[in-house]
Amino acid sequence: MRKIFPVLFIVFLLSCSSGENQEKRWLENYNESLLGFPPRDCLHFPFDFRNFSNKKIIVYPQEASKVNLMAGLILDTRVNDLFFKDYYNILVNQDFKKIAMLNDSIFFIGDTLEDFSSVKFKYPLPDFSECYDEFGFSSNKLSGKEEVLIVEYKQGEFINSEYLVKNLNTPDGWRHGMSRGIAIDSLRKRIVYWLVYW
């Protein structure tokens, strides 16, 4: 028994070290991803991950995605229960545009073939389907339980012309633009941050 204890202790230390190295690599990748975009457009992304778990980052580089050409960043996270309440209150009390998910004024940017050209009010959101459809988005249908805080959205060309989206069925005036914000699922304590250009 005495011989087994040191072996188990060494295995425990190695697993802790492996976890720390993995977290360090993830943070390096995250920081490198943020550097690919204008700093002012990334200010709403978190930088302290002590209370975050299950982090997944999706980077749309300035090259072809599945259907359209675009650039952007999505960070899909969960936070612990104790942290969520305070963090949620901070987020919703910011001066962001708040919209409900079941809203005819939403249109999606990204890997969607849907025609949004008839949308009257223009709140562009990325297509979150790459987040495993776990955030309530499935074939661009919404559960209605999420809240969206739009930090900024505006029309115009923000990336090089060769990367601009082509043949996108967007509403009038939204052929090109940018959108950034935060989507919140209070039930699952899930928070998704986004920045997208098209």
Mean pLDDT for the stretch of residues 99-103: 76
Please give the DSSP secondary-structure letter assigned to residue 102: S
The answer to whether 77 and 55 are in contact (CB under 8 A) is yes
Confidence check: pLDDT of 41 > 60: yes
CA distance 80 to 41: 26
Helices (H) and strands (E) in the chain — how many of each? 2, 8
Q: For residue 118, which phi and psi values (nearest 5 degrees)?
A: -95, 0
Confidence check: pLDDT of 10 > 90: no
Q: What pLDDT sits at residue 2?
A: 54
The answer to whether 88 and 186 are in contact (CB under 8 A) is yes
Tell me the pLDDT tens digit for each residue of 126-163.
877 665 455 555 444 445 677 899 999 999 988 888 77
DSSP string, 106-154: EEEESS-----TT-SS-EEEE-GGGSTTTTS-BTTB--S--EEEEEEEE
CA distance 155 to 168: 14
Confidence check: pLDDT of 193 > 90: yes
Q: What pTM does this model have?
A: 0.80
Confidence check: pLDDT of 7 > 70: no
Average pLDDT of the chain, as a whole number: 78
Q: What pLDDT sits at residue 81?
A: 86
Q: Tokens 């949004």, residue?
A: 116
Mean pLDDT for the stretch of residues 174-195: 90
For a pLDDT cut of 90, what percent of the chain falls above it?
A: 19
Q: What pLDDT sits at residue 111?
A: 62
pLDDT band at 8 (very low <50, low <70, confident <90, very high): very low
Tell me the pLDDT tens digit for each residue of 58-79.
887 655 444 455 788 888 888 8
110: left (phi over 0), alpha (psi -120 to 50) or beta: left
Q: What pLDDT sits at residue 150?
A: 94
Characterize 79-116 residue by residue with b for buried, 16 or more Cβ atoms within 10 angstroms of its Cβ, and e for exposed: beeeebeebbeebeeeebeebebeeeebbbbbbbeeeb
Tell me the pLDDT tens digit for each residue of 159-173.
888 777 776 788 888
What is the C-alpha end-to-end distance of the chain, expressed in Å?
A: 62
Helix (H) or strand (E) holding 197, with range, is: strand 190-197
- Where is mean pLDDT largest: 48-57, 72-81, 103-112, 175-184? 175-184
